Amino acid sequence: MNRLTDIANMVESLSRIYHRLRKEINGQLINEGLSMSKMKILHLITTGKTSATDIKNYMGFSSRTVVTVLDALEKDEMLRRQQSLTDRRVKYVHITKKGQEKLIIAKCTYNIILDRIFAPLSDVQLKNFYEVCNLLEIQQKIAQ
């Protein structure tokens, strides 16, 4: 095999692994009214003042998708929106007690699945995999 074929095969393998992982995690989180995306958003809004624009930039979603997800989380009482006191165009998003409780459950579920999926890898293999992923991600940011 040549280098490009090997790389293409690795990319396809990573894609299949990621989609199976995401499908399994979402399948488990649906019982809590969540998804990986909703879990990531809830986690993000625990880190401080967060606006829909912050979420959009962090998640890489369209504005419409962010609003749809925030509406669903607000309807399920996992977050609340609050108008900025200094800029009436901005609404900050805050996690509720119910959202915090759901996030704890979601993180636990997420960690159990990740631990099981990555269990076959040794600590050295995990470290090498992390380094490779990190290097590729840094190169992508530089190229943009």
For the chain, list the domains and their CATH numbers. Answer: 21-143 (1.10.10.10)
- Tell me the HSE value of 33 on the side-chain side, using a 13 A CA sphere: 14
Q: By C-alpha distance, which of 37, 48, 28, 144 is closest to 95?
A: 48
83-95: string of b/e by CB count within 10 Å (b at 16+)?
eeeeeeeeebbeb
Q: Mean per-residue pLDDT for 86-96?
A: 91
Average pLDDT over residues 23-39: 92
Task: Say whether pLDDT at 120 is over 70.
Answer: yes
The pairing of beta strand 79-83 with beta strand 50-51: unpaired
Q: Which amino acid is at 22?
A: R
**pLDDT score at 32:** 85
- Cα–Cα distances in angstroms (integers) from residue 13 to residues 76, 131, 133, in the given order: 36, 18, 14
Which of 32 and 134 is assigned the larger pLDDT?
A: 134
pLDDT band at 1 (very low <50, low <70, confident <90, very high): low
Q: Sorting pLDDT into bands at 50, 70 and 90, what band is 95?
A: very high
pTM passes above 0.75: yes
Percent of the chain at pLDDT above 90? 86
